Amino acid sequence: MIHIPEYVDALSFLITFSIAFVLFFWLWQEYVIDSTRQQLFELRDELFDLATLGELDRNAECYRMLRELFNNSIRFAHRLDFWHLIIMILSAKLLGEHNFGRFAKHIDEMIRSIEDPKIKAHVLAIVEKQNRVLVWHVFRRSLFLLLLLPLVLLVALMVLVSTDMITKAMKKAALVISASICYSES
Amino acid sequence: MPRQEDIELSGNQKFILNLVDRVAGIITLGIKSVVTLASLASVVFVIDVLAEHGFKADINVNANANVAVYLFSLLDSKTRWLPWGVALIAIIYGLIQRELRRRKTAYLQGRIVRLEQQIDPGRTSSGLTTRGETRGEDV
């Protein structure tokens, strides 16, 4: 004799699970991708406006590379998630590529070579915002990271009080993300 | 100033990284497909078991084991269906809003591109569709 209510409960759980699965892995993912793209479009427009005002040379390598970086970030935002990053880092190590973030470092060097300190600070702020948007994008897309959130917050709070480890970790994550986008191809 | 070849990965490295990227994408899609199929199969299995015992219960006239009665009692309960109904309406509303946003994007982007090209003839694009969606070949 089976217990019918238990089977009905199981059916109810399965339907709920399926709906939650579709919500997170389809609707939520698409929303996060669209939201990230919108934020990146806004930052790319900010850079465009800077050049229109004559503060940045449109033909300079710095502007062209930043524009390409934004274009690639927008185009490949759907491929950027936590597991892709992990796999990318592991395969880069397997390839013996120890300087994975060199493209992003090069962009950083070019921005720092801008002579006008006000414009340099503005461009750096735009790139930092872009890094934050992409780190947040990876976080929001990962169920694993979202579930870890309470634990991460607790540890982060403890670490934040004692060291500047979070800032360093954010910078490192931003380097890897930028590199991963730069080397993406259709 | 670093040379271009110092900044970029070699062709071989790019190929392997892209290959790994694609394989990772296929594995992720595979896992999602397996979970979806497993969920569907489980739902079918449970419904099958319930239907079978529901039929027997009808013959035995056992009110407690009568699945049909039990399910109808669930359906009948308005309080149980209210949150599902609200959630469903919210999802449909969200999808309609998204469609509106995409239509608006398609409507505006042509003018924006033309105006920006007047300012910067060498303007480069993100490569999304006119509606702001991922291109088929990039998926």
- Which tens digit of pLDDT belongs to each residue from A93-117? 877 766 667 777 888 888 988 989 9
State the Cα–Cα distance between residues B100 and A145, nearest whole angstrom: 31
Residue A101 φ/ψ, nearest 5 degrees: -90, 20
State the Cα–Cα distance between residues A103 and A139, nearest whole angstrom: 23
State the Cα–Cα distance between residues A46 and A31, nearest whole angstrom: 23
pLDDT at B58 over 80: no
Spatial contact of A111 and A62, defined as CB atoms under 8 Å apart: yes
pLDDT at A74 over 90: yes
What average pLDDT score do residues B17-45 get?
A: 83
Cβ neighbours of B70 in A, within 8 Å: 4-5, 8
Distance from the B112 Cα atom to the nearest Cα atom in chain A, whole angstroms: 11
Residue B125 φ/ψ, nearest 5 degrees: -110, 160
State the Cα–Cα distance between residues B139 and B134, nearest whole angstrom: 7
pLDDT computed for residue B75 by the predictor: 58
Spatial contact of A50 and A123, defined as CB atoms under 8 Å apart: yes
CB contact set of B60 (below 8 Å; sequence gap of 6+): none
CB atoms within 10 A of CB B4: 8
Closest partner residue to A21 (CB to CB) among B9, B39, B50 is B39
Single pTM value for the model? 0.77
CB contact set of A125 (below 8 Å; sequence gap of 6+): none
**Chain A interface test: which of B22, B46, B52, B53 (most A C-beta within 10 Å):** B46
pLDDT computed for residue B7 by the predictor: 58
- By C-alpha distance, the chain B residue nearest A182 is B8
CA distances from A186 to A77, A178, B62 (A): 12, 16, 62
pLDDT computed for residue B57 by the predictor: 45
pLDDT at B17 over 80: no
Is the CB of A75 less than 8 angstroms away from the CB of B138?
yes
Comparison of pLDDT for B53 and A41, the residue scoring more: A41
Q: Is B82 helix (H, G, I), strand (E, B) or coil?
A: helix
State the Cα–Cα distance between residues B24 and B46, nearest whole angstrom: 33
Is the CB of A8 less than 8 angstroms away from the CB of B74?
yes
CB contact set of B128 (below 8 Å; sequence gap of 6+): A37, A74, A75, B134, B135
DSSP state of B65: G
Cβ neighbours of A76 in B, within 8 Å: 138
B21 in reach of chain A (CB within 8 A):
yes
State the Cα–Cα distance between residues A184 and B7, nearest whole angstrom: 14
DSSP state of A113: T
Residue A63: name the closest of A49, A77, A84 by CA. Answer: A49
B13 in reach of chain A (CB within 8 A):
yes
Over the stretch B103-125, which tens digit does the pLDDT of each residue have?
Answer: 999 999 999 999 999 999 999 99
B77 in reach of chain A (CB within 8 A):
no
User: Per-residue confidence at B61, pLDDT binned at 50, 70, 90?
Assistant: very low
B71 in reach of chain A (CB within 8 A):
yes
How many structural domains does chain A have?
1
CA distances from A47 to B55, B83, B114 (A): 69, 45, 18
% chain A with pLDDT above 90: 42
Torsion of CA A14, A20, A22, A26, to 10 degrees: -160
Distance from the A170 Cα atom to the nearest Cα atom in chain B, whole angstroms: 22
Question: Quick one: residue A79, left, alpha or beta (phi over 0 = left, psi -120 to 50 = alpha)?
Answer: alpha
DSSP state of B77: -
Is the CB of B137 less than 8 angstroms away from the CB of A186?
yes
Is the CB of A2 less than 8 angstroms away from the CB of B21?
no
Domain ranges of chain B: 8-76, 79-139
Residue numbers of the domain that contains A78: 4-182
Distance from the A93 Cα atom to the nearest Cα atom in chain B, whole angstroms: 11
